[in-house]
Structure 1
């Protein structure tokens, strides 16, 4: 029996159930273990309660304590600094990583009037939306998908920005009024991807999970997360990144785009690199961003 740890939210349990079903499809018995994290119970802004790791620390503690065998994380919530006792044994194929708008009256970003209020607690989204110069008012919000979308229905905000992947996994894409082009707003590093973490010495579980790993997704998120780590920025920092495996002149290569918010607006850069050195690509693009600050 594989004990699979997950947060209690609807999205987290939906993601965990997807992984559990995939493992069952390979002949394993799986039991879900629900765990409450700091980020689930503390509604203060993430940067006030620690930001990086607030949604994963309790799950990782349970892994180390041998209370669960694997933990399923939204990869964008996972700190870039590794824990020696743990390993990410599987990164399944990524869901669409883009952000989406859920707005009143079915409007898009371009259709929202000047002064319209958009709810998002992510500095990354706030910086990039402000850089569009649409005259929108941004306000910080937190909460699960239901509570955020309810703010639009209740008239508290005109729109909210969410990760498309979460709505897809919850079967709620019909509420999306616009999928936002990464040219406008780049997603968070790792957005749309899942990380299946386990103890580094648990060879049986590592073998069981490895069949779910998608090499293209792993390469892409490694580039994005190395960029984030090189910038020494956490999950609440105004950093957007998106890597994709594309066909180059000499075969597959990795294309990485990045956006970094700062006092002087948002700086964007992109670069190509070999698929087999995603960390090198992320590191070099991060250094280029820093040089141009």
Structure 2
């Protein structure tokens, strides 16, 4: 029996089941609580890895055999004793602006209060609408949407991937254009993590890996690592597989505007380095 460890949110359970269904019938799911689940403090105060550390410790201890994470939650410095054995095909990587009127950016009222705990989302939204006031928000996807409908917030920014996996519909006009609001590194992708020495399980899990997604998110995560490796950086990046290599488009928001970079090549690490060199002056790389 393979035991999959995951957080207990509705979205996390859906993601774990997606992996479990592809692995076969000899799989069970175990829910684990992380620091991010037990604290109401803003995510930025809790630090990177807040949603994964407890699950990784359970994996190391042999309490679970495999962990399913949202890839964007994983720190870019990967531990030597654990490995991302598979990155399945990516879901929609865009962000979605959900307003009370469901009219997207065009329907955002003047001086709107927008809920987001992401410095990246806040920075790119302000670049689009400098009158908007971004305010911290916590809770699962359903909770955040209810806070908009109740009037606590005028809008909230959430990941399209989460909405799609939960079966929550949105219109195309609600999705923020990816060139204007590029996603977090790895957004929309899952990470299937196992112990590095578990060769038998790795051989089974590797069938879930999507090479096109893997090369794209490798470039994105390497760029994030080079730029400081923290979710506090208002950095957006989107990679795509092309002609046997990868194309990486990235943007860094700052007080003086948005700095952009694009690079391509066969090696995702070198591609990320070229993008970082362009953006680096703004982040002291």
Q: Distance in 2 between matches of 1:182 and 1:74?
A: 19
Aligned to 1:272: 264
Q: Distance in 2 between matches of 1:142 and 1:259?
A: 25
Aligned to 2:252: 260
Unpaired runs of at least 5, structure 1? none
Could you tell me how far 1:241 is from its partner in structure 2?
Answer: 0.6
Q: Distance in 1 between matches of 2:232 and 2:21?
A: 31
2:111 paired with 1:119? no
Q: Distance in 2 between matches of 1:16 and 1:107?
A: 32
Comparing 124-133 and 53-62, the one that deviates more: 124-133
Matches of residues 148-159 of structure 1 in structure 2 within 5 Å?
148-159=144-155
2:44 paired with 1:47? yes
Residues 76 and 229 in structure 2, CA contact (< 8 A), matched pair in contact too:
no
Aligned to 1:20: 20
2:274 paired with 1:284? yes
Residues 44 and 117 in structure 2, CA contact (< 8 A), matched pair in contact too:
no
Matched residues, number:
283
Deviations 1:135-185 (A, max 9, x none): 222112111101100011101111111000001110012488611111210
- Shift in alpha-carbon separation, 1:156–1:292, aligned structure 2, 3 A: closer
TM-score where L is the length of structure 1: 0.93
- Shift in alpha-carbon separation, 1:174–1:265, aligned structure 2, 3 A: closer
TM-score where L is the length of structure 2: 0.95
Aligned to 1:89: 85
Q: Distance in 2 between matches of 1:155 and 1:65?
A: 45
